[in-house]
């Protein structure tokens, strides 16, 4: 009888199923001069809906902020998709909750770095980007934490710039971990060692991705244009040692950058050092600017190198092999792209 009443109650419970996304519901992206809804922009609508314009670290009225978010949620409930969200792959139909909290955050509001990668968006004006002042988000996020409005179960990302150079980085990561955030992703150069990253790895709640892109100092210096090769591998070994057992969240990354590291010897040395450092996870990618210009004419040897790097990772018993978007696309659409390329020739 109790079972029947229970199932009747479940049937009568109003469905809250509609098309929306995690960022509309519970997220934001802190950018240079505004707060946006997300950082995605590769779809028809262009994403990056502005939530607070002309923003430079002022205290946010979070109650007002949640009120605005509720309005967007109501639009989605009525089947209305924001223009900027149109075509976005993150839209999905599912049950959504009605609560006010944040569990998706991206921090992207600074550009200073201790590397000068040739492929970086800051490359053309590195002096400008290194001198650019950033604002301090810690007090603003602390207020949100004090209101009990930060939760785990989502995803926190640090972009930049080099996160470890951000003055508020250490207290911010500690605060987020204290709030129960259990999926923090940091892209770092690993030139500066961070105790907050170490804590996140130890607790199995932070993923660190370090794009070393090389196995030899000379190649590293050609790409990164700084001479921190040994320091980076030393720090990777320390991070790898500190990570919680069986989590493998310290990752080295190899971006195939044609003209710089597109050969098997470099990949061999990269994997030797990754293995020696104790890192058990790798990320593979292909350099974005090059890919944009060459995606319909990728030479065979680049496909082969990607397969070679993947097989190398397997041979070292890497526990996690991640292919970022471009590499994943290349690998999964290989036949189709080669056909297309060869027909154009």
Name the 3-class secondary structure at 261. coil
Does 18 bind ligand SF4 (CB under 6 A)? Our answer is no
Q: Does 200 bind ligand SF4 (CB under 6 A)?
A: no
Name which position in 30, 35, 60, 113 contacts ligand SF4 (CB under 6 A). Answer: 113
Which of 116, 185, 202, 269: binder of ligand SF4 (CB under 6 A)?
116
Give the rounded distance of the alpha carbon of 101 from its chain centre.
Answer: 21
> CB atoms < 10 A from the CB of 67, how many?
11
Beta-ladder partners of 316: none
Q: Which of 75, 91, 147, 321 binds ligand SF4 (CB under 6 A)?
A: 91
- The string over 312-327, giving b where at least 16 C-beta atoms fall within 10 Å of a residue's C-beta and e elsewhere, is bbeebebeebbbbebb
- From the CB of 85, what's the least distance to ligand SF4, in Å? 3
Shortest Å distance, C-beta 274 to ligand SF4: 18
Q: Cα separation of 32 and 160, whole Å?
A: 10
Nearest C-alpha neighbor of 252 from the set 231, 225, 270: 270
How near is the Cβ of 71 to ligand SF4 at its closest, in Å?
14
Cβ-in-10-Å burial (0-12, 13-18, 19+) of 7 comes to exposed
Of 37 and 327, CB closest to ligand SF4: 37
Of 273, 236, 269, the closest CA to residue 251 belongs to 236
Segment 204-263, which members bind ligand SF4 (CB under 6 A)?
none
Site string for ligand SF4, 167-196 (x = CB under 6 A): ----------------------x-------
Near ligand SF4 by CB under 6 A, which window of 37-45, 61-69, 131-139, 163-171?
Answer: 37-45
Q: Smallest gap, in angstroms, from Cβ of residue 196 to ligand SF4?
A: 18
Residue 27's H or E segment, with its range, is strand 27-30
From the number of C-beta atoms within 10 Å of its C-beta (0-12, 13-18, 19+), residue 342 rates as exposed
Of the candidate residues 102, 117, 179, 305, the single one contacting ligand SF4 (CB under 6 A): 117
Binding of residue 162 to ligand SF4 (CB under 6 A): yes
Only one of the segments 115-123, 131-139, 196-204, 268-276 lies at the binding site for ligand SF4 (rule: CB under 6 A); that segment is 115-123
Cα 83 to Cα 342: distance, rounded to the nearest angstrom: 37
Indicate which single residue of 51, 105, 106, 115 sits in contact with ligand SF4 (rule: CB under 6 A).
115
CA gap 83, 100 in Å, rounded: 23
Region binding ligand SF4 by CB under 6 A among candidate stretches 58-66, 111-119, 265-273, 329-337: 111-119
Q: Are 49 and 65 in contact (CB under 8 A)?
A: no
8 A C-beta contact, residue 27 and residue 104: yes
DSSP 8-state symbol, 184: E
Which residues inside 322-341 make contact with ligand SF4, applying CB under 6 A?
none
Instruction: Select 40 or 169, whichever has its Cβ closest to ligand SF4.
Output: 40
The Cβ-side half-sphere exposure at 326, using a 13 Å CA radius, reads: 21
Cβ 191 to ligand SF4 shortest distance, Å: 8
Number of residues that bind ligand SF4 (CB under 6 A): 22
Q: Which residues bind ligand SF4 (CB under 6 A)?
A: 21, 23-24, 37-38, 40, 47, 84-85, 88, 90-91, 113, 115-117, 120, 122, 160-162, 189
């Amino acid at each position: 009888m109790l079972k029947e009443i229970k199932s009747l109650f479940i049937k009568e419970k109003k469905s809250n199923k509609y098309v929306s996304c995690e960022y509309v519901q519970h997220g934001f992206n802190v950018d240079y001069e505004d707060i946006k809804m997300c950082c995605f922009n590769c779809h028809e609508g262009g994403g990056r809906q502005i939530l607070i314009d002309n923003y430079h670290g002022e205290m946010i009225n979070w109650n007002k902020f949640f009120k605005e978010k509720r309005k967007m949620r109501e639009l989605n409930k009525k089947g209305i998709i924001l223009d900027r969200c149109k075509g976005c792959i993150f839209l999905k139909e599912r049950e959504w909750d009605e609560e006010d909290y944040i569990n998706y955050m991206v921090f992207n509001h600074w550009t200073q770095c201790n590397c000068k990668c040739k492929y970086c968006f800051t490359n053309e004006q590195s002096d400008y980007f290194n001198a650019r002042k950033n604002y301090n988000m810690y007090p603003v996020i602390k207020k949100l934490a004090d209101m009990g409005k930060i939760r785990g179960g989502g995803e926190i990302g640090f972009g930049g710039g080099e996160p470890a150079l951000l003055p508020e980085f250490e207290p911010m990561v500690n605060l987020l971990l204290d709030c129960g955030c259990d999926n923090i992703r940091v892209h770092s150069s690993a030139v500066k060692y961070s105790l907050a990253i170490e804590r996140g790895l130890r607790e199995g709640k932070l993923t660190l991705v370090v794009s070393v892109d090389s196995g030899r100092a000379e190649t590293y210096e050609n790409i990164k244009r700084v001479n921190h090769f040994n320091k980076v591998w030393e720090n990777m070994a320390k991070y790898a040692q500190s990570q919680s057992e069986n989590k493998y969240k310290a990752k080295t990354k190899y971006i195939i950058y044609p003209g710089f590291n597109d050969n098997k010897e470099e990949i061999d040395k990269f994997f030797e050092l990754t293995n020696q450092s104790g890192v058990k996870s790798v990320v593979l990618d292909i350099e974005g600017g090059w890919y944009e210009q060459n995606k319909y004419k990728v030479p065979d040897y680049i496909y082969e190198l990607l397969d070679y790097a993947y097989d190398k990772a397997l041979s070292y018993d890497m526990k996690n092999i991640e292919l970022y978007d471009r590499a994943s696309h290349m690998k999964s659409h290989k036949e189709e792209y080669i056909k297309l390329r060869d027909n154009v020739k």
